[in-house]
Amino acid sequence: MERSGSLIPGVIAATLLAGPLFVVFFAVANIFQQFPEHISIDSKDAQVLFLMLPAVVVGACISLIPNIIGANIMADLADEYPFARSSFVWAIVGASTAFVWICIIPGLFDARPEGFALVATSAMCAVICRVYVNWS
């Protein structure tokens, strides 16, 4: 089967969304860690919105190269193996890649929000990279 579409729009979208996705997943993980305590959200928690613009810049700088490499490797695999064309497979590979980094970097494996945010962001970026590519 031939690949149609381009990886470029997906890689660009994933690169620009990586930082904001990380911030959102980090915030969700922090809230989740507060269970079963009462969770209160007030105006001071809205400060996370001000992190989005710097998160786009920082996240793009960090994620550009991994997104390019990962999308190209996965697309080449999907050219040869039909099971690798599934968005689910791309998400699993993205999450697994992040999990390897978590195991390598000391302290991230300790059920911390950073680890969850990294795995979730990597999975989402992999799926976003896959969106504009089709095989027919």
Alpha-carbon torsion (116, 119, 125, 126), positive or negative: negative
pLDDT in tens, 6-58: 999 999 999 999 999 998 898 888 888 777 777 666 776 677 777 788 889 99
Q: Is the pLDDT of residue 107 over 80?
A: no
Burial of 88 (0-12, 13-18, 19+ CB in 10 A): exposed
Q: Say whether pTM exceeds 0.85.
A: yes
Residue 27's closest CA among 39, 12, 14, 11?
39
- Proportion of the chain in helix, strand, coil states, percent, rounded to 5: 75, 5, 20
- Give domain status of residue 39, yes or no: no
- Give domain status of residue 59, yes or no: yes
pLDDT in tens, 69-92: 999 999 999 999 999 999 999 999
- Give domain status of residue 109, yes or no: yes
- Give domain status of residue 38, yes or no: no
* pLDDT in the model for residue 119: 94
Number of domains composing the chain? 1
Residue 58's closest CA among 117, 115, 16?
16
- Give domain status of residue 20, yes or no: yes
- Give domain status of residue 37, yes or no: no
Q: Which domain holds residue 91?
A: 3-32+45-135
